[in-house]
Amino acid sequence: SGGILANAPRFSAYVASKAALDTYTRVLAVELRSVNIRTSTLYMPLVRTPMIAPTKLYDYLPAWSPDEAADLILRTIVERPRRVKVGPPAWVETLYTIQPDLVEALASRVFHLFPSSAAARGETQEKPSGRAIALGTLVRGTQF
């Protein structure tokens, strides 16, 4: 998940599980190198699938189509890079290396700007706030 690179607020448990898989894959690469098996880690950007549907905020954020994601997966299989980082999560990781306090401050603002989804609270879905829609509009098209 690109959330590993971007320290995605509200998803700490999900991101932690993906970070564990990332570390597992890196260690596995060392263990299997002598038998000529390589690993690749793909930090997938947001993909418009049924999994993200309950989080209505995602309706306003840029996301890849399943076909775009499949193409990236196939390219990763063919080219066999160690790591594939794309789009905003990769940019956030770079900025975090240079200015971690700034990234944490901005992520904290986003965390407080967008409350937990109704689905996370066990309630019916509500429309995002005007501020949430504005942010989604501002970053629309930044995914590539």
Mark whether 96 is an active-site residue.
Answer: no
Q: Of 14, 24, 43, 60, which one is the catalytic site residue?
A: 14
What tokens appear for 7 in the block? Answer: 């320290």
Task: Please name the residues in contact with 75: beta carbons below 8 A apart, sequence gap of 6 or more.
Answer: none
Calculate the dihedral angle through the C-alpha atoms of 111, 117, 122, 123, rounding to the nearest 10 degrees: 130
Total residues found in the chain within this entry: 144
In whole angstroms, give the CA distance from residue 92 to residue 89: 5
Catalytic residues: 14
